[in-house]
Structure 1
Amino acid sequence: MPPPQPTLIRVIDLETTGEKPPAHAVVEIGWQDVALGADGRWELYGEGGSRMVNPGRPIPPLTMAVHHIRDEDVADAPWWHDVARPLLDPWPRRLALAAHRASFEEQFCTPALTRGADWICTYKCALRLWPGSPRFSNQYLRYWRMPEGMDHERGLPAHRAFPDAYVTAFHLRDMLNETSVEQLIAWSKEPALEPRVRYGPDRGREYAEIDEDALIAFMNDRDPDIRFSAETEYARRQGGGAVKRSGVPPQDLLL
């Protein structure tokens, strides 16, 4: 009898004609699996791969300049709805899907295509686990961290579906060996917890370093990630959990 195949988390990366479906569509999908080994450690599993996809519309020069996929490269490729389900849903073995800044992939990989899969966002999880990194892009983390076992050439060129999925899989592997699947999914469902201020006089400083007036101002920011980061730091200073936004202005929370 062959050994049973392990359950896995499938890391994916998409190259597209643009950022917003349905105006834009997928032109390439790449994947790399990560599985729990018999020794209790997570490791990359299988060879992964990529498939071209016919987007049903011209690829704009702006996006061709990023991934270098041309109209003629996808002219004979299958449609997204023919490719997506078997690649996104290797049922019953898949625990979750993962991507770096997964909210982008989730726009194209709808619940109907993923069978309602949970997602792990390696960007949001990197903010939690490796807050000391100066930046959090997929490629920056690659060279800042230098993950053990990565084949440098296999992770190139950047901005193509398989190499990017391959790089992300190493980040995910190391995250899973630090904390649980459930914790990574939970962090991924929340806004991004940014360690440092993005703009203004305190730009580049940690939220823990700024004064209370500046912190309260960020709690009113339009960006949900900035609000969440400021609220979390405010709650930490108060010795409590996450601030509940029940219609009470942040200023009143001081009273």
Structure 2
Amino acid sequence: MRTTPQIVRVIDLETTGNAPPTHAVIEIGWQDVALGADGRWDLSGDGGSMLVNPGRSIPPVTQAVHHILDEQVADAPWWHDVARQVLDPWPRRLALAAHRASFEEQFCTPALTRSADWICTWKCAMRLWPESPGFSNQMLRYWRKPDGMVHERGLPAHRAFPDAYVTAFHLRDMLNEASVAQLVEWSNLPGLLPRVRYGPDRGRDWRELENEVLARYLTDRDEDVRYTAKLELERRNNGGAIGADPESVERLLL
């Protein structure tokens, strides 16, 4: 008997801005990645996209990114009329995925996704491919050059389907290196940054920093920076082990 493959659905949104409910969705794109009979993951189906009426005008600053016009979404359906069918496909998917998934999760609430697990391909890329020169969707695309990607199908950038299509290739290769459960676990943690993001140490490997410098990053405003600095200090104190007693960091700095 033919069985329906398990899928992870990659989602990408274009919106009027960054913060709901002030801002709203104007386009959703998707592309499935399925587990094959051979135990390998690959893209499945054609994917798709749908314009959405945001119920408000689209600011010029966001039109300049995705080039979607007010008149193009005026007769489009409302978000709550289309979201569930895209976010919760039958058969029920194992998880949803997006690049920097925290953005999509603001609009794709648990009520719309049936409390789906999320995979953040940005966070997972930093775990699996820390040597990449950058971790944006498009940087990974041109650095990795995923097998099978049709260049034109991933264009234009900053439109919902092309971006979901590109992300799906990253996810496919991640799933062929790590389990769904592992990717979800990493996605639920802050980002583990391979290099310092900004400031006088920008671009340096965290392993190159002195303990006193790392200690200053423990109070940084950025959660990912604080998390990365803490784990590096714990690694030094525990011979490579991650997840030590938090008091060990304090002892190391005394």
TM-score, scaled to structure 2 = 0.96
Please report how far the alpha carbon of residue 252 of structure 1 lies from its aligned counterpart in structure 2 after TM superposition.
Answer: 4.6
The count of corresponding residues between Structure 1 and Structure 2 is 252
Q: How does 1:28-177 map to 2 (within 5 A)?
A: 28-177=27-176
Check conservation: 1:197, 1:207, Cα contact below 8 A: yes
Check conservation: 1:219, 1:230, Cα contact below 8 A: yes
Structure 1 residues 169 and 87, CA gap change in structure 2 (3 angstroms): same
Structure 2: state its 5+ residue gaps: none
User: Are 2:200 and 1:201 equivalent residues in the alignment?
Assistant: yes
Q: Which amino acid aligns with 2:52?
A: V
Check conservation: 1:100, 1:138, Cα contact below 8 A: yes
CA deviation vs aligned residue, 1:109-146 (integer Å, no higher than 9, x gap): 00000000000000000000000011100001000000
Structure 1: state its 5+ residue gaps: none
User: Are 2:189 and 1:190 equivalent residues in the alignment?
Assistant: yes
- 4+ residue runs of structure 1 moved beyond 4 angstroms? 248-253
Structure 2 SS opposite 1:40: coil
CA deviation vs aligned residue, 1:88-116 (integer Å, no higher than 9, x gap): 00143300000000000000000000000
Please report how far the alpha carbon of residue 251 of structure 1 lies from its aligned counterpart in structure 2 after TM superposition.
Answer: 4.5
State the Cα RMSD in Å.
1.4
Check conservation: 1:219, 1:250, Cα contact below 8 A: no
**Distance (Å, rounded) in 1 between the aligned partners of 2:164 and 2:30:** 6
| Aligned twin of 1:210 | 209
Check conservation: 2:215, 2:253, Cα contact below 8 A: no
Check conservation: 1:220, 1:250, Cα contact below 8 A: no
Check conservation: 1:10, 1:34, Cα contact below 8 A: yes
Check conservation: 2:233, 2:249, Cα contact below 8 A: no
**Distance (Å, rounded) in 1 between the aligned partners of 2:215 and 2:190:** 18
Structure 2 SS opposite 1:196: coil
**Distance (Å, rounded) in 1 between the aligned partners of 2:207 and 2:67:** 42
Check conservation: 2:25, 2:52, Cα contact below 8 A: yes
Check conservation: 1:17, 1:26, Cα contact below 8 A: yes
Structure 2 SS opposite 1:142: helix
Check conservation: 1:231, 1:243, Cα contact below 8 A: no
Please report how far the alpha carbon of residue 206 of structure 1 lies from its aligned counterpart in structure 2 after TM superposition.
Answer: 0.5
Q: Which amino acid aligns with 2:81?
A: D
Please report how far the alpha carbon of residue 253 of structure 1 lies from its aligned counterpart in structure 2 after TM superposition.
Answer: 4.5
**Distance (Å, rounded) in 2 between the aligned partners of 1:103 and 1:244:** 28
TM-score, scaled to structure 1 = 0.95
Structure 2 SS opposite 1:65: helix
| Aligned twin of 1:241 | 242
Check conservation: 1:191, 1:228, Cα contact below 8 A: yes
Q: Percent same amino acid among aligned pairs? A: 71
CA deviation vs aligned residue, 1:174-208 (integer Å, no higher than 9, x gap): 00001111000000000000011112322111101
